[in-house]
Amino acid sequence: MAPWRQLSAEKLNKGEERTEQGVVIHVFLSPYDVPEGVRGEYDEKSKVFRIEFKYLTDEESTEISEEGKSISLVVGRNSKRLLGISVDVHSLKADSIQLKLEVLQLVEKAIAELEDTGKPKQRKANYRLARRVIDEHRDELLAPLGAT
Protein backbone atom coordinates (compact mmCIF):
# COMPACT_ATOMS: atom_id res chain seq x y z
CA MET A 1 0.00 0.00 0.00
CA ALA A 2 1.15 3.49 -0.81
CA PRO A 3 1.79 5.78 2.15
CA TRP A 4 -0.76 8.46 3.03
CA ARG A 5 0.11 12.03 2.07
CA GLN A 6 -0.90 14.18 5.02
CA LEU A 7 -3.10 17.16 4.23
CA SER A 8 -3.52 20.38 6.18
CA ALA A 9 -7.11 20.87 7.33
CA GLU A 10 -6.40 24.56 7.92
CA LYS A 11 -5.31 25.07 4.30
CA LEU A 12 -8.16 23.02 2.87
CA ASN A 13 -11.03 24.30 4.98
CA LYS A 14 -10.76 28.01 4.20
CA GLY A 15 -14.46 28.55 4.55
CA GLU A 16 -16.88 30.63 2.61
CA GLU A 17 -18.04 34.13 3.42
CA ARG A 18 -21.75 34.85 3.00
CA THR A 19 -24.05 37.70 3.83
CA GLU A 20 -27.40 36.67 5.23
CA GLN A 21 -29.94 39.28 6.32
CA GLY A 22 -27.20 41.90 6.34
CA VAL A 23 -24.86 39.87 8.55
CA VAL A 24 -21.55 38.54 7.23
CA ILE A 25 -20.99 34.94 8.31
CA HIS A 26 -18.15 32.49 7.68
CA VAL A 27 -19.20 28.94 6.86
CA PHE A 28 -16.75 26.05 7.19
CA LEU A 29 -17.00 22.35 6.44
CA SER A 30 -17.25 19.97 9.34
CA PRO A 31 -13.80 18.59 10.25
CA TYR A 32 -15.30 15.15 9.51
CA ASP A 33 -15.77 16.16 5.84
CA VAL A 34 -12.23 17.44 5.28
CA PRO A 35 -9.75 14.75 4.20
CA GLU A 36 -6.67 14.49 6.37
CA GLY A 37 -4.82 12.24 3.93
CA VAL A 38 -4.78 11.11 0.30
CA ARG A 39 -2.91 8.43 -1.61
CA GLY A 40 -2.73 7.09 -5.12
CA GLU A 41 -1.57 3.64 -6.10
CA TYR A 42 -1.53 1.38 -9.11
CA ASP A 43 -2.17 -2.36 -8.75
CA GLU A 44 -0.14 -3.97 -11.53
CA LYS A 45 -1.95 -7.30 -11.14
CA SER A 46 -5.51 -5.98 -11.55
CA LYS A 47 -4.48 -2.98 -13.73
CA VAL A 48 -6.50 -0.66 -11.49
CA PHE A 49 -5.39 2.78 -10.30
CA ARG A 50 -6.92 4.01 -7.02
CA ILE A 51 -7.08 7.33 -5.23
CA GLU A 52 -8.20 7.09 -1.60
CA PHE A 53 -9.12 9.74 0.95
CA LYS A 54 -8.61 9.41 4.70
CA TYR A 55 -10.89 11.25 7.14
CA LEU A 56 -11.02 11.75 10.91
CA THR A 57 -13.31 8.74 11.16
CA ASP A 58 -13.41 5.54 9.13
CA GLU A 59 -16.55 4.35 7.47
CA GLU A 60 -17.30 0.64 7.44
CA SER A 61 -20.16 0.66 4.96
CA THR A 62 -19.67 2.00 1.44
CA GLU A 63 -21.49 2.30 -1.86
CA ILE A 64 -19.77 1.89 -5.21
CA SER A 65 -21.04 3.99 -8.08
CA GLU A 66 -20.02 2.93 -11.59
CA GLU A 67 -19.31 5.96 -13.76
CA GLY A 68 -18.91 4.37 -17.18
CA LYS A 69 -16.89 1.29 -17.97
CA SER A 70 -13.56 2.61 -16.70
CA ILE A 71 -14.23 4.37 -13.40
CA SER A 72 -16.04 3.85 -10.13
CA LEU A 73 -16.45 6.01 -7.05
CA VAL A 74 -16.52 4.77 -3.47
CA VAL A 75 -18.84 6.84 -1.28
CA GLY A 76 -19.65 6.36 2.39
CA ARG A 77 -23.09 4.78 2.71
CA ASN A 78 -24.09 7.04 5.62
CA SER A 79 -21.84 10.07 5.29
CA LYS A 80 -21.87 10.27 1.46
CA ARG A 81 -18.24 11.47 1.64
CA LEU A 82 -16.05 10.60 -1.33
CA LEU A 83 -13.75 7.87 -0.01
CA GLY A 84 -12.09 6.63 -3.16
CA ILE A 85 -11.87 6.49 -6.92
CA SER A 86 -10.90 3.45 -9.00
CA VAL A 87 -9.88 3.57 -12.65
CA ASP A 88 -9.61 0.45 -14.81
CA VAL A 89 -6.40 1.40 -16.59
CA HIS A 90 -6.47 -1.69 -18.82
CA SER A 91 -9.74 -0.55 -20.43
CA LEU A 92 -8.23 2.82 -21.38
CA LYS A 93 -5.69 1.27 -23.76
CA ALA A 94 -3.54 4.40 -23.64
CA ASP A 95 0.23 4.69 -23.75
CA SER A 96 1.98 5.84 -20.58
CA ILE A 97 2.23 9.47 -21.72
CA GLN A 98 -1.50 9.78 -22.39
CA LEU A 99 -2.53 7.59 -19.48
CA LYS A 100 -2.06 10.16 -16.70
CA LEU A 101 -4.03 12.75 -18.64
CA GLU A 102 -6.86 10.32 -19.40
CA VAL A 103 -7.07 9.15 -15.78
CA LEU A 104 -7.13 12.74 -14.53
CA GLN A 105 -9.88 13.68 -17.01
CA LEU A 106 -11.99 10.66 -16.00
CA VAL A 107 -11.58 11.46 -12.31
CA GLU A 108 -12.50 15.12 -12.82
CA LYS A 109 -15.58 14.19 -14.86
CA ALA A 110 -16.76 11.55 -12.36
CA ILE A 111 -16.46 13.93 -9.40
CA ALA A 112 -18.22 16.69 -11.35
CA GLU A 113 -21.10 14.31 -12.10
CA LEU A 114 -21.25 13.32 -8.44
CA GLU A 115 -21.44 17.02 -7.53
CA ASP A 116 -24.34 17.50 -9.94
CA THR A 117 -26.48 14.87 -8.23
CA GLY A 118 -29.15 15.93 -5.75
CA LYS A 119 -26.87 15.59 -2.74
CA PRO A 120 -27.04 18.05 0.19
CA LYS A 121 -24.88 21.17 -0.13
CA GLN A 122 -22.42 19.89 2.48
CA ARG A 123 -21.68 16.80 0.35
CA LYS A 124 -21.09 18.92 -2.72
CA ALA A 125 -18.51 20.90 -0.75
CA ASN A 126 -16.78 17.61 0.16
CA TYR A 127 -16.65 16.63 -3.53
CA ARG A 128 -15.28 20.05 -4.55
CA LEU A 129 -12.64 19.73 -1.85
CA ALA A 130 -11.71 16.25 -3.13
CA ARG A 131 -11.27 17.69 -6.64
CA ARG A 132 -9.04 20.43 -5.24
CA VAL A 133 -6.90 17.90 -3.32
CA ILE A 134 -6.44 15.80 -6.46
CA ASP A 135 -5.55 18.87 -8.50
CA GLU A 136 -3.03 20.15 -5.94
CA HIS A 137 -1.38 16.72 -5.51
CA ARG A 138 -1.84 15.31 -9.01
CA ASP A 139 1.86 14.75 -9.74
CA GLU A 140 2.44 12.70 -6.58
CA LEU A 141 -0.88 10.85 -6.85
CA LEU A 142 -0.40 9.90 -10.50
CA ALA A 143 3.30 9.04 -10.13
CA PRO A 144 2.58 5.28 -9.81
CA LEU A 145 1.13 5.36 -13.34
CA GLY A 146 4.50 6.34 -14.78
CA ALA A 147 5.69 2.76 -14.54
CA THR A 148 2.87 1.21 -16.58
Domain ranges of the chain: 5-61+70-147
Mean pLDDT on 129-146: 90
What predicted TM-score, i.e. pTM, was given to this entire model? 0.83
pLDDT over threshold 90, residue 53: yes
Cα radius of gyration rounded to whole Å, the chain: 16
Rounded CA-CA distance 144/148 in Å is: 8
For residue 101, the model assigns a pLDDT of 84
* Burial (CB count <10 Å: 0-12, 13-18, 19+), residue 48: middle
- Model confidence band, residue 118 (pLDDT cutoffs 50, 70, 90): low
Residue type present at position 74: V
pLDDT at 95: 64
